[in-house]
A and B are shown apart, each in its own frame.
Chain A
Amino acid sequence: MHIAQYTELICFIILGAVIIIGSLGVVLLNNIVYSAFLLGGVFMSIAGLYLLLNASFVAAAQVLVYVGAVNVLIIFAIMLVNKREELSPIKGLKLRRFISGGVCACLLGLLIRVNLTTKWNMPGPASIGEGSTVRIGEHLFTDYLLPFELASVLLLMAMIGAIVLARRDVLNTDEETQEKINQEIIEEKKQPLLIDQSS
């Protein structure tokens, strides 16, 4: 029993270190491609943390949805927009980073203080362990049925919305007169629609 408990503790420490260092890398590294792959590692470690909490279904969902879908989508987006560009320097960037770092540290202190001073209702009732998958299924089809159906509608809306937003509008014929459109107009370089006001 002691060996099992210590193994659990060591796994938690390793996973926590990977999560924190990986997320710092995601935020701080200059190369966005490294950030994306580190983000995949962070998601995998969080799935390991869920396994430590006896939640195998959510761990599998985390791996499937986050690592398999969201991270791949982010990598695809990086491939589509990865143009090397020199970011124009802006005034007071260091000061801005310093101030926001201070604000985030204050937020962290506040959260940790709330964590440590609250009297949690410990020890709680015994954990259900490996029967959690069955229980999640029961929840989803009884008392959480409406959110479940709404989630499916939300996913459909997000899919259609993403297709509409990311689609390139190229029509072969004019919509009103049904005449062929001169292809050279479509092929020519599009000017940016919005005027750059950053200078």
Chain B
Amino acid sequence: MIETSQGLIPLQAYLILASLLFCIGVWGLINSRNAVRVLMSIELMLNAVNINLMAFSSYLDGSLIRGQVFTVFVITVAAAEAAVGLAILLSLYRNRVTVDMESFNLLKW
């Protein structure tokens, strides 16, 4: 059995990987013009946060793996968010006949 807290991988490696993934997600969220890609970027950011929680739970929390419980809840909320987001996207597409984010500007001032 590999003991992760004494393995060769430091905690910081997981955290840096998660921050890279989060920043890629933020960039995609800002710059995507396709609404489906915006939802995908949100999923990437949620996964980055999950990696953080899992790494902390494994390295710092010992036998109280609270991070893993939180990750399960985040996965639940992400599934609900994806379902509602895609339903909103479908009804937007039905009304505007496009998925271009630049044309969803009804509330722009």
Q: A-side interface residues toward B, CB under 8 Å?
A: 4-6, 8-9, 12, 16, 19-20, 23-24, 26-27, 32, 35-36, 39, 42-43, 46, 49-50, 52-55, 57-58, 61-62, 65-66, 69-70, 73-74, 76-78, 80-81, 83, 85, 87-88, 90, 96-97, 100-101, 104-105, 107-108, 111-112, 115-116, 120-132, 135-136, 139-140, 144, 147, 151, 154-155, 157-159, 161-163, 165-166, 168, 190, 192-194, 196-198
Is A158 in contact with B84, judged by CB distance below 8 angstroms? Answer: yes
Question: Are A80 and B103 interface neighbours, CB within 8 A?
Answer: no
Q: What is the predominant secondary structure among interface residues of chain B facing chain A?
A: helix
Assembled-state Cα–Cα distance A139/B105 (Å): 45
Q: Please, how many angstroms separate the alpha-carbon atoms of A194 and B71 in the complex?
A: 39
Shortest Cβ distance from B101 into A: residue: A87
Are A112 and B16 touching (Cβ within 8 A)? yes
- With A32-B36, A35-B40, A123-B5 as given contacts, are A20 and B95 in contact (CB-CB < 8 Å)? no
Q: What are 16 A-B interface contacts by the 8 Å CB criterion?
A: A9-B7, A9-B9, A19-B21, A55-B58, A62-B75, A74-B36, A83-B98, A108-B20, A122-B5, A123-B5, A123-B59, A124-B60, A126-B62, A131-B63, A162-B84, A166-B90
Residues of B near A83 (CB, < 8 A) are 97-99
Report yes or no: A57 in contact with B84, Cβ–Cβ below 8 A. no
A-B contact count (CB 8 A): 274
Count B-side interface residues using an 8 Å CB cutoff.
88
Is there contact, CB below 8 Å, between A139 and B7?
no
Are B2's CB and A8's CB within 8 A? yes
A140: min CB distance to chain B, Å? 7
Contact at B31–A132, with CB atoms within 8 Å?
A: no
Asked if A115 meets B15 with Cβ closer than 8 Å, knowing A61-B72, A151-B77, the reply is: yes
Give A51 to B104 CA distance when docked, in angstroms: 41
Q: Knowing A85-B98, A107-B26, A111-B23, say if A147 contacts B90 (CB, 8 Å).
A: no
